[in-house]
Amino acid sequence: MGKIKILTKDIGTPNLQNIDVYISKGGYASVEKAIKTLGPDAVVEEVKKSGLRGRGGAGFPTGMKWSFIDKTPGKSRYLVCNADESEPGTFKDRYLMAENPHVLIEGMITSSFALGANRSYIYVRGELIYVVRILQKAIDEAKAKGYLGKNILGSGFDLDLNVTCGAGAYICGEETALIESLEGKRGNPRIKPPFPAIAGLWGMPTVVNNVESIAAVPWIVVNGGEEYAKLGIGKSTGTKLISAGGHINKPGVYEIELGVPVEEFIYSDEYCGGIWKNRKLKAVVAGGSSVPILPANLITKTANGEARLMSYESLSDGGFATGTMLGSGGFIAYDETACIVKNTWNFARFYHHESCGQCSPCREGTGWMEKVLHNIEHGHGKPSDIDLLVDVAKKIEGNTICPLGDAAAWPVASAVRHFRDEFEWHIKNPSAATQPGAVFRNEAVLA
Amino acid sequence: MSEISLFKVTIDGEEVEVAPGTTILQAARQLGKHVPPAMCYYTKLQGSGGKCRTCIVKVTAGSTKDPRPMPKLVASCRTPVMDGMVVANETSPEVIEARKGVTEFLLINHPLDCPICDQAGECHLQDLGYEHGAQKTRYDFERRTFDKIDIGPYVQLHMTRCILCYRCVYTADQITDKRVHGVLDRGDHSEISTYIEKAITNDFSGNVIDVCPVGALTDKTFRFKSRVWFTKPVYAHRNCPKCTGKVTLWYKGDDVLRVTGRKDKWGELEDFICNTCRFETKKTADWVIEGVVNVDRHSVISQNKYTLKAEKPVVPELASKHTGEGTWDHQLK
């Protein structure tokens, strides 16, 4: 795999947040190229050719999403950048926005031009107020240079780019809840259909894209979609930011070309640098807390014994029985001292806290799972609790308005699926399991 | 006007033709059989529905044009029909299982205080519990509780019983210009509330009682006066300057204990009535009586609605030799 960097190549340059430094690195070339030579439809075509997939978690092809937008004349269209990064384990967007804000601004201008949006929004998570300030400064600089505002580069294309700030709710990362919040309402997800491409912000056609997806657009426009599609593997084209965390030697944000073997990603010095303190690897959550957890023996190799790669397809190989998802790229590694029950309880507590409460399975089910897991973790579990957890998770999954229900059910269901003996050990040996630092060991799953 | 071509939909093997834009639930209601239960959807409230998930159905074929099944169960109240759509409601074990799950979720934080609840007897959650609930709860944790709140002089909010269907929120949005009533907080600790216990002063605020599917919003002028099944509903009207004046009076003996709007077969109000009619006009002399209400579908006040579904008690051998007197079957006759 090549070592090409697209989003992070200039990070490390002093004062990259300054527009002059950014331009000296070739910045804003995509705006010039899109407006002066390509035209909107050609930009959409390049993005389609690139095979770029949504980096927020679902992995839906960005170009296709753009082509769904309702282009009825007279209806204003909106582009909204989802910078409400709140998935536990994921911290790539805030790093990118703080270090290289102009790549996002440039991407927003080029993408808005392609979609014909004259007003666009970047919705930043409430906690990241420092990012809001960085982005606002970048927008002001871009406006002063004529890349934003009225009649951009003499083309007649106007763009008003706004940064807005959420109030820190995880649910507002769901695109329709984000739109509600942007409209000044309570951040409840909307019932789909209609999809935002038909009726989104203020009831108008809207595209909502992740920060990383939009930030990849400038490179695609400058170098061509086909060049981008050459990177990566199969339908997982291009590069992806991975937020690596947990029990590894070198936590941080890494830009990888999709298709890097998981084993290389964990153990090579270029990336995570192996498991800390020379311990064994026990489990990995590969794409943010919502995706199924996998034991170490299934994360480096698929059930068929093939090497697992960091790509959409390879990580989901085997379905949920033996696979997981690339998700948003929040890669959390757990060493042999980690307690899966405690971790699952912690995740369940998060989803219980963040459920908006609009639809009943998620509202009631997340709380129920959290309470049952709390009991197991604290030595009050019953043997029937394990099947109860599986059943509750199954009844939430797929029956909710938005994907938060699934996101809450998957980690619990997968933890029980792969670490059932650990749950049973907790229930059978409550006094031993509640000792500080007590951990169930199963050598078979460690690596 | 040119004739609109109707969409043909199949629900549980029965075909019905409906106008484009009709939802699956409405189509099922037109058909009259195999109707999914709806706890949050309310035809007259714009934006309602999709939340409680009790009405979920399986779409086994999307349309004639695109006969692929839908990947997930869908909320029938908010999913418009397509021509040639095939829907499985009661015939799908997956739907029945999921609906059982939803019923269980709705009940785990519900106090089940039916014996002291004014809504008992005309409660949609009771109906749902009878039809889709389990006999025993698997939930052994403390249930969430709230203090009772008076919303104005006539309405009491008993949040503990609320299932967060949002119907009252949509009602308040519809009858008032400003936002007066909404949802605070998040998840299972979210609560329906007015802005710092401010009263809803609107003349039609009493309708939130009628749209509430459970006993969370109750009529303070009727609290603890009588069980609803001991009262007799009678249609009546009066010349009201504010509303249509078409109501249901609930009698016990010669006294009007309660005035409500008229509800249709699905438990939905035909018209919103004003607070004067509802709370302040409780003398027979004020009304022109139209006749007794025939309660058909709705709730346990419809006599014997659940009798046939109840398990027959096992009567040992004697029953066969007996004349039949005193047995369950005999009682039913």
Helix (H, G, I), strand (E, B) or coil at A354: helix
Position B296 pLDDT exceeds 50: yes
Give the closest-approach CA distance of A278 to chain B in angstroms.
41
How many helices (H) does chain A have, and how many strands (E)? 19, 11
Interface contacts (A, B; CB < 8 Å): 91
By mean pLDDT, which of A211-215, B220-224, B326-330 is the weakest? B326-330
Whether B183 sits inside 8 A of A186 (CB atoms) is yes
pLDDT tens column, A298-323 = 999 999 999 999 999 999 998 899 99
Cis peptide before B233 (omega within 30 of 0): no
pLDDT bucket at A208, cuts 50 / 70 / 90:
very high
This prediction has a pTM of 0.91
Mean pLDDT of B184-198: 82
Short-list B257, B233, B266, B227, CA closest to B247: B233
Check A401 against B50: CB less than 8 A apart.
yes
Q: What is the pLDDT of residues A368-409, one digit of tens each?
A: 999 999 999 999 999 999 999 999 999 999 999 999 999 999
Show which of residues 78-107 on chain A sit within 8 Å of chain B, judged by CB atoms.
none
Other Cβ atoms within 10 Å of B172 Cβ, number: 24
Extents of the domains making up chain B: 7-97, 124-219, 226-333
Architecture, CATH, for domain B124-219: 2-Layer Sandwich (3.30)
Closest Cα in chain A to B138: A388
Say what the pLDDT of residue B96 is: 94
Nearest by CB to residue A399, choosing from B102, B108, B163, is B102
Q: What angle do CA A402, A404, A406 make, to 5 degrees?
A: 95
What are B7-25's pLDDT values in tens digits? 999 999 999 999 999 999 9
Residue B295 has pLDDT above 90, yes or no: no
Contacts of A273 (CB under 8 A, 6+ apart): A248, A249, A250, A267
pLDDT at position B328 is 53
Question: Which tokens hold the place of A246?
Answer: 């947990």
pLDDT for B222 equals 93
Average pLDDT, whole number, for chain A?
A: 94
A87 vs A203: CA distance, rounded Å: 27
CB environment A345-361: b (16+ within 10 A), e (fewer): bbbbbbbbebbbbbbbb
Q: Tell me the pLDDT tens digit for each residue of A219-233.
A: 999 999 999 999 999
Among A361, A368, A394, beta carbon nearest to B53? A361
* Separation of alpha carbons B226 and B36, rounded Å: 30
User: Which CATH number among 3.10.20.740, 3.40.50.720, 2.60.40.60, 3.20.20.140 corresponds to the domain B7-97?
Assistant: 3.10.20.740
* pLDDT for the residue numbered A38: 92
Residue B320: pLDDT above 50?
no
| Lookup: tokens for A126 | 């409430």
- Residues of B engaging A, defined by a Cβ cutoff of 8 Å: 49-54, 56, 72-73, 75, 78, 97-98, 101-102, 104-106, 108-109, 138-139, 141, 163-164, 166, 182-183, 185-190
Using alpha carbons, select from A383, A388, A356, A358 the residue that is nearest to residue A370: A388
